[in-house]
Amino acid sequence: MSIFQIRPNYSSLARCAPITEKPGTDRAMRVAIQRARRGKKAAPFGQQQAFDSAIAKLVRAIPVDAQVGDWFANESPIPSVKRRWKKILLNPAVLAIALAVAVIGGVFVYHVREHLRDFPGADKARRLLSVATSTRSVLLDPLQTDAGALSDLFFMKHRLEHYDIPAEFADFRTLGSRVFDDDEVHGVAQIWVVEKRMQFFLFPAGKNPKDGSVTDFSDWRFVELEGWTGAVQQRNGVCFMAAIRGREKDLAPYLEKRKQ
Amino acid sequence: MTGDASKAQAALQDTVREAALRSARDEPPSDRLWFFRDARWRCLAVSEQDLQAEPGILEEEAEISPGAPMQIEKLDPNQLAVWISAAPEPQRSALSLFYLDEFSLREMLVLLEMTAGELSELISSGRRQFQAWLDAATPYEGE
């Protein structure tokens, strides 16, 4: 019954080509008509069209009873096809396009959301979060003391100035620490603490590429990567990041403690 | 299709009445082609009671001639109506629907319950038969 066969018989379709151009003509029929018009049988096809048009004209001239004419006077015998939204939405092509747009939109929103709260040094912070995910405790020098006491160690041993631990995290007991140079970030101090196996990072703040200035911020800003979250604060040109495996809410209690 | 306008009108009235009854029962025709399908079957039922086309009456065929449109112009519309109503089913329905020029191919296939190949064959043979009849009724004098 369907005209959508795997290989449409175009010559057969052309023999019942519509007499007048209709907007809803199937693609197979349009192809059949184009082939018939341009092929070897263009002349017979032209005769067929002229023949059909003449008969259709005569059919329209067949007198219609007045009563029947009245029935159809105010409406088309074939109502125009109303494309229902449900049908349109269930069309595979529309579904595929909608899905693609949704995915693109989702990725776009994700990126916008991720970078909405970006700050100078956010890229460095994310890179160090990736370091946090792969760090093993054996990589660090064992050191058991209060985190706040390490500022002097960093200055005395490594000449790292202003590598201070914020008061919120200064009392946390440490398990180990190290200072290393990353491919992109130099002079990174990493501290491993007992509390929830958090890691602290201290690293030079990013400079404004235009004027080379560094803009500190005292509020906490967050970065996320692969299930880790970092709370970052910048003072005296040095960024401090507390990294935890979890979400922003897992860090919130420690940050609110200072406010109280 | 019936060869008699009053019978066709009566069949159409019955179809409209049936649609109204269905609507009153909250079961309106679900398909927009329902009216045409129902009217066609009623017309076929009516025409079955009439004299049937003699077998072989339209067997003569001729290729479509370039002068066919001019031959057709000379015809009276009722002559065409009578000729189509004399055709055997399902060719009669196929030609009626096709030359009404109101239906898409898909709609015609649904109404006639046949394949595109069958419809194509019926229409093209109908053309040749009508051309043969035309040649007999109004010979082309152009050549």
Residue of chain B minimizing CA distance to A56: B99
pLDDT at A7: 58
- Residue B57 in domain: no
Q: Does B1 score more than 70 pLDDT?
A: no
3-state helix, strand, coil in chain A (%, to 5): 45, 20, 35
3-state secondary structure A64-111: CCHHHHHHHHCCCCCCCCCCCHHHHHCCHHHHHHHHHHHHHHHHHHHH
Yes or no: say if B2 and B50 are a contact pair by the CB < 8 Å rule. Answer: yes
pLDDT at B109: 85
**Chain B residues with CB inside 8 Å of A79's CB?**
32
pLDDT at A103: 95
pTM strictly above 0.80: no
- Mean pLDDT rounded to a whole number for chain A: 81
pLDDT at A1: 45
Q: Does A2 score more than 50 pLDDT?
A: no
B85 & B115 share domain: yes
Region B98-104 average pLDDT:
82
Binned at pLDDT 50, 70 and 90, residue A102 comes out as very high
Cβ separation A47–B103 shorter than 8 A: no
**Chain B residues with CB inside 8 Å of A15's CB?**
120-121, 123-124
B4 & B74 share domain: no
pLDDT in tens, B30-56: 777 777 778 878 877 777 766 555 555
B86 & B141 share domain: yes
pLDDT at B54: 57
Cβ separation A51–B109 shorter than 8 A: no
Q: Does B3 score more than 80 pLDDT?
A: no
B69 & B35 share domain: no
CA atoms in the 13 A half-sphere facing the CB of B24: 6
Cβ separation B117–A79 shorter than 8 A: no
pLDDT at A213: 73
Yes or no: say if A225 and A110 are a contact pair by the CB < 8 Å rule. Answer: no
* Cβ–Cβ contact A20 with B under 8 A: yes
State both tokens at A122: 């956010």
First CA to last CA across chain B, in angstroms?
34
pLDDT at A108: 92
Cβ separation A51–B131 shorter than 8 A: yes
Residues 39-98 of chain B with CB under 8 A from chain A are 64-66, 68-69, 72-73, 75, 77-78, 80-81, 98
* Cβ–Cβ contact A63 with B under 8 A: yes
* Cβ–Cβ contact A13 with B under 8 A: yes
Name the residue among B81, B113, B127 with its Cβ closest to that of A48: B127
Yes or no: say if A174 and A145 are a contact pair by the CB < 8 Å rule. Answer: yes
Mutating which of B99, B121, B129 best tests the A interface, going by the most A Cβ atoms within 10 A?
Answer: B99
* Cβ–Cβ contact A24 with B under 8 A: yes
Region B80-98 average pLDDT:
83
B71 & B33 share domain: no
Cβ separation A18–B81 shorter than 8 A: no
- Residue B35 in domain: yes
Binned at pLDDT 50, 70 and 90, residue A106 comes out as very high
Q: What is the tally of helices (H) and strands (E) in chain B?
A: 7, 0
**Chain B residues with CB inside 8 Å of A55's CB?**
72, 80, 99, 130
B13 & B71 share domain: no
Query: What ranges in chain A are assigned the alpha helix state H?
Result: 10-15, 27-38, 42-60, 66-73, 85-89, 92-116, 122-134, 150-158, 248-259
Long-range CB contacts (< 8 A, 24+ apart) of A88-92?
Answer: none
* Cβ–Cβ contact B9 with A under 8 A: yes
Region A163-167 average pLDDT:
88
Region A176-182 average pLDDT:
87
Closest listed residue to residue A114, CA positions, set A246, A243, A226, A254: A226
Q: Does A214 score more than 80 pLDDT?
A: no
Binned at pLDDT 50, 70 and 90, residue A209 comes out as low
pLDDT at A22: 73
Would you say the ipTM is above 0.85? no
Mutating which of B16, B63, B104, B108 best tests the A interface, going by the most A Cβ atoms within 10 A?
Answer: B104
* Cβ–Cβ contact A79 with B under 8 A: yes
Segments forming the whole domain that contains residue B42: 1-52
B31 & B2 share domain: yes
Handedness of CA B106, B112, B113, B116 (dihedral sign): negative
Handedness of CA A223, A225, A230, A233 (dihedral sign): negative
Region B1-29 average pLDDT:
76
CA distance B54 to chain A (A): 24
pLDDT at A4: 47
Question: What is the count of structural domains for chain B?
Answer: 2
pLDDT in tens, A22-81: 777 778 888 888 888 888 878 888 888 888 888 888 888 877 767 666 666 655 544 455
Name the more confident of A12 and A103. Answer: A103
* Cβ–Cβ contact B142 with A under 8 A: no
Q: Does A235 score more than 80 pLDDT?
A: yes
Across the A:B interface, residue pairs with CB atoms under 8 Å apart total 110
Yes or no: say if B37 and B114 are a contact pair by the CB < 8 Å rule. Answer: no
Name the residue among A51, A58, A77 with its Cβ closest to that of B77: A58
CA distance B108 to chain A (A): 10
B92 & B44 share domain: no
User: Quick one: angle between helices A42-60 and B116-137, nearest 10?
Assistant: 80
B69 & B39 share domain: no
Range with the lowest mean pLDDT among A182-186, A254-258, B53-57, B88-92? B53-57
Cβ separation B9–A65 shorter than 8 A: yes
B48 & B84 share domain: no
- Residue B58 in domain: no
B33 & B95 share domain: no
pLDDT at A68: 66
Name the more confident of A21 and A101. Answer: A101
pLDDT in tens, A111-156: 887 777 677 778 888 888 888 888 887 788 888 888 888 888 888 8
B70 & B129 share domain: yes
**Chain A residues with CB inside 8 Å of B125's CB?**
none
